Structure 1
Amino acid sequence: MSFLQRLTTGFGASKIGTDRFGNTYYESRKSWLGYGRKRRFVVYAGEPEPTTVPPEWHCWLHHVTDAPLPEKKLYPWQEEHRQNRTGTALAYRPPAHEGGGERRPPTSGDYEAWTPGS
């Protein structure tokens, strides 16, 4: 966080908490004109990547809940939150994807390609 941002955040907002990824969450001290409620925002730890905000804090940021939800697994089927992997080597690629090196399985043979002029 830059010096100017730290200075203005300290005067106009109060710190609410920090998540397990190091992101810090703030809420403005006054209600914003025309907004009707206090503004909530996040200061990212490192690179500003919105997909690093866990769902518990996402609810709070968007005024779905009044207080942040607890950061714990409630159900055994829940997985750990991960940031978006699109565009990286860890991105999901289905079988026979062009970038995967596999070949597409042959079709049933009932397809006839259209050619112009025929």
Structure 2
Amino acid sequence: MGILNTLLQAVTWWNGATLNTMIYTRRKGVKVGEDGQGNVFYRNADDSRRWVIFNGEAEASRVDADWHGWLHRTFNEVPSEKPLQHKPWEKPHQENLTGTMLAYAPAGSIRAGGVPKERSDYEAWSPE
């Protein structure tokens, strides 16, 4: 199964880095840091390019806010050297739950469990 996993990782973008990205990262990448989720961040020698190699599934919502700002050049300080000062009201990062059983379901939704509630503020149209 190891050879199959290596082959899948080499040709699919959602399984980590593709073969070309791995080669480019080894040749030209300078490791800048790593976040709490194991994602590794790189830049090239002249800092004209910045990228991330995801630890597991490539999901953009898994990049922390401070590293997101560094990737998009909102600020140039590397978050591992100068972390952001987080506000006390900020919630910890939560991954994107869309498409999972834990996704948000509003009240009255069939997915919310139980029978949908009767609506008293709506009357269905019926032709005369």
Normalized against structure 1, the TM-score is what? 0.75
Q: 2:27 is matched with which residue? A: 11
Q: 1:58 is matched with which residue? A: 68
Bigger Cα displacement from structure 2, 46-55 vs 4-13? 4-13
Normalized against structure 2, the TM-score is what? 0.70
Q: Do the aligned partners of residues 113 and 67 (structure 1) sit closer, same or farther apart at CA in structure 2, a change above 3 Å counting? A: same
Percent identity of paired positions between Structure 1 and Structure 2 = 35
Please tell me whether Structure 1 or Structure 2 has the larger radius of gyration of its CA atoms.
Answer: 1
What is the RMSD of the two structures over their aligned residues, measured on CA atoms?
Answer: 2.4
2: distance between equivalents of 1:108 and 1:5? Answer: 57
Q: 1:114 is matched with which residue? A: 125
- Name the structure where helix makes up a greater proportion of residues: 2
1:52 corresponds to which letter in structure 2?
A: R
Give the 3-state SS of the residue equivalent to 2:107 in structure 1.
coil
Unpaired stretches in structure 2, ≥5 consecutive residues: 1-16
Give the 3-state SS of the residue equivalent to 1:15 in structure 2.
strand
**Contact 1:59 1:68 survives alignment (8 Å):** no
2: distance between equivalents of 1:90 and 1:112? Answer: 32
Q: 2:10 is matched with which residue? A: none
2: distance between equivalents of 1:106 and 1:51? Answer: 36
Equivalent residue pairs, number = 109
Q: Do the aligned partners of residues 114 and 96 (structure 1) sit closer, same or farther apart at CA in structure 2, a change above 3 Å counting? A: closer
Q: 1:67 is matched with which residue? A: 77
